């Protein structure tokens, strides 16, 4: 940090770092965090377990005139906790990294201290992008030169249920989408296939499938050709997160009529995209996994250069994080941006997904606003 103003010499070195960039205390970049309890409209079961509530964390970065907002998704099976996220966000090195000019987005991102919490990193990245877009007066997708009309439809996710009557009720109660992503991983591939057939028949819509690591490769080789016959749009994470032998077995047996096999848990970051080159057909990119919009943009670019499909997904998240992810939708083949639609207490409004159509906001930055109390 450079020392450029004699008037600041009065500060002690520790304080000096924080205040170096500003002439007066009122103009400092400020950062605040807020715990966010998100309640799910219905208990949500996938192969990793059942969820009724999530504890996410919001972060706000204020440059004196504007406030950028970001969200950290606390996903238990990714070993995040609200405490770990808040510790990372309140690291004194973070406020130093923010700098004093919201236009210099990459400078701020480059200066952020390393953190074990990719969710916290993603929240800071979102808030800095929000501030950057507001400072430049354009929505993020405009600043990236993207055409919002090229966003694919979003799927709506249907949780796992092995009670057939309850499952059919759930399918009938879902909002009208042209693509439903159904969660599988009941414990037996034959049961999973029955669930997929019920979903196809009850909705009359196209389905995609997410096994959340549930199958062994030999099970996957049984069910995938049968799912292909149901005209499934794609199959997400058929096998275990680290099962690269499994990915190889699937590749070696791949038939021309199989739907794309998309890696989710196996694809956390750009290194994983490289490792999956020639194995998976594509990757499901999520801000909470890779650490934010800059990293996600890098993963999309890398996947494209390797000839892979790209998908943008989300966690159980409010409209803050889902809207952030949605700005990348014009770049991808598949979108699964429904995390906020599953909530009964979404505190923000941003991107709207209506019958699967993604409507990106016109407002600068992320384009999210708090819901009036
Ligand atoms: Mg998934």
| 143-152 pLDDT per residue, tens | 999 999 999 9
What pLDDT was estimated at residue 145?
Answer: 98
What pLDDT was estimated at residue 7?
Answer: 32
User: For residues 312 and 124, what is the distance between their CA atoms, to the nearest angstrom?
Assistant: 19
Q: Is the pLDDT of residue 133 over 60?
A: yes
What is the number of alpha carbons within 13 Å of residue 209 lying toward its C-beta? 35
Which two tokens mark 262? 């998309």
What pLDDT was estimated at residue 76?
Answer: 82
Query: Model-level pTM?
Result: 0.90
How would you label 262-272 residue by residue, b for 16+ Cβ within 10 Å and e otherwise? bbbbbbbbbeb
Cβ atoms 66, 364 nearer than 8 A: no
Given pLDDT bands bounded at 50, 70 and 90, which one contains residue 373? low
Question: Looking at residue 151, what DSSP letter applies?
Answer: P
Cβ atoms 184, 195 nearer than 8 A: yes
Distance 21 CA to ligand 1 centre (A): 42
What pLDDT was estimated at residue 22?
Answer: 44
Q: What are phi and psi of 154, to 5 degrees?
A: -90, 145
**Cα dihedral 6/9/13/18 (nearest 10):** -60
Q: Is the pLDDT of residue 284 over 80?
A: yes
State which residues have CB under 5 angstroms from ligand 1, the bound ion: 210, 236, 264
**Cα dihedral 111/115/120/124 (nearest 10):** 0
Distance 310 CA to ligand 1 centre (A): 13
pLDDT in tens, 77-107: 778 899 999 999 999 999 999 999 999 999 9
Distance 215 CA to ligand 1 centre (A): 13
Distance 307 CA to ligand 1 centre (A): 21
Among residues 261, 216, 220, 258, the alpha carbon closest in space to that of 240 is found at 216
E strand or H helix that includes residue 335: strand 334-335
Higher pLDDT, residue 372 or 210? 210
Q: Is the pLDDT of residue 278 over 50?
A: yes
Distance 126 CA to ligand 1 centre (A): 21
Distance 354 CA to ligand 1 centre (A): 21
Distance 212 CA to ligand 1 centre (A): 6
Question: Whole-number mean pLDDT of the chain?
Answer: 91
Q: Is the pLDDT of residue 14 over 80?
A: no
Distance 5 CA to ligand 1 centre (A): 51
Cβ atoms 70, 119 nearer than 8 A: no
What pLDDT was estimated at residue 3?
Answer: 30
List, in sequence order, every residue forming a beta bridge with 354; answer none if it has no partner. 357
User: For residues 180 and 154, what is the distance between their CA atoms, to the nearest angstrom?
Assistant: 9
User: For residues 19 and 166, what is the distance between their CA atoms, to the nearest angstrom?
Assistant: 58
User: For residues 361 and 349, what is the distance between their CA atoms, to the nearest angstrom?
Assistant: 10
pLDDT in tens, 21-42: 444 454 478 999 999 999 998 8
Given pLDDT bands bounded at 50, 70 and 90, which one contains residue 43? confident
Given pLDDT bands bounded at 50, 70 and 90, which one contains residue 15? very low
Q: Is the pLDDT of residue 320 over 50?
A: yes
Distance 134 CA to ligand 1 centre (A): 32
């Amino acid at each position: 940090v450079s020392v450029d103003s004699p008037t600041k010499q009065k500060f002690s070195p520790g304080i000096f770092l924080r205040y170096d960039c500003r002439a007066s205390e009122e103009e400092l970049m400020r950062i605040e965090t807020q715990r966010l309890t998100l309640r799910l409209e219905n208990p949500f079961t996938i192969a990793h377990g059942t969820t009724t509530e999530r504890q996410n964390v919001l972060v706000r970065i204020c440059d004196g005139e504007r406030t950028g907002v970001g969200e950290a998704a606390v996903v238990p099976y990714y070993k995040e906790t609200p405490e770990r996220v808040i510790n990372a966000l309140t690291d004194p090195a973070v406020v130093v990294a923010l700098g004093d000019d919201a236009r210099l987005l990459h400078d701020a991102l480059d200066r952020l201290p390393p953190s074990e919490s990719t969710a916290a990193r993603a929240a800071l990245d979102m808030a800095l992008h929000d501030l950057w877009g507001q400072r430049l007066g354009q929505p993020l997708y405009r600043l990236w030169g993207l055409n919002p009309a090229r966003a694919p439809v979003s799927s709506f996710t249907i949780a796992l249920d092995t009670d057939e009557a309850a499952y059919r009720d759930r399918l009938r109660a879902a909002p009208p989408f042209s693509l439903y992503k159904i969660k599988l991983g009941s414990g037996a591939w034959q049961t999973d296939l029955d669930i997929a057939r019920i979903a196809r028949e009850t909705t009359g819509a196209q389905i995609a499938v997410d096994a959340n690591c549930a199958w062994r490769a030999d099970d996957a080789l049984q069910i995938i050709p049968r799912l292909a016959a149901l005209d499934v749009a794609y199959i997400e994470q058929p096998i275990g997160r680290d099962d690269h032998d499994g990915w190889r077995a699937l590749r070696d047996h791949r038939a021309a009529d199989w739907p794309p096999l998309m890696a989710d848990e196996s694809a956390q970051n750009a290194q994983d995209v490289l490792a999956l080159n020639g194995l998976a057909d594509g990757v499901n990119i999520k801000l909470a996994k890779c650490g934010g919009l800059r990293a996600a943009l890098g993963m999309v670019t890398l996947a494209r250069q390797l000839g892979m499909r790209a998908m943008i997904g989300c966690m159980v998240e409010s409209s803050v994080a889902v809207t952030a992810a949605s700005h990348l939708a014009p770049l991808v083949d598949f979108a699964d941006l429904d995390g906020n639609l599953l909530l009964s207490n979404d505190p923000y409004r941003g991107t709207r997904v209506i019958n699967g159509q993604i409507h990106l906001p016109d407002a600068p930055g992320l384009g999210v606003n708090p819901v009036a109390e």
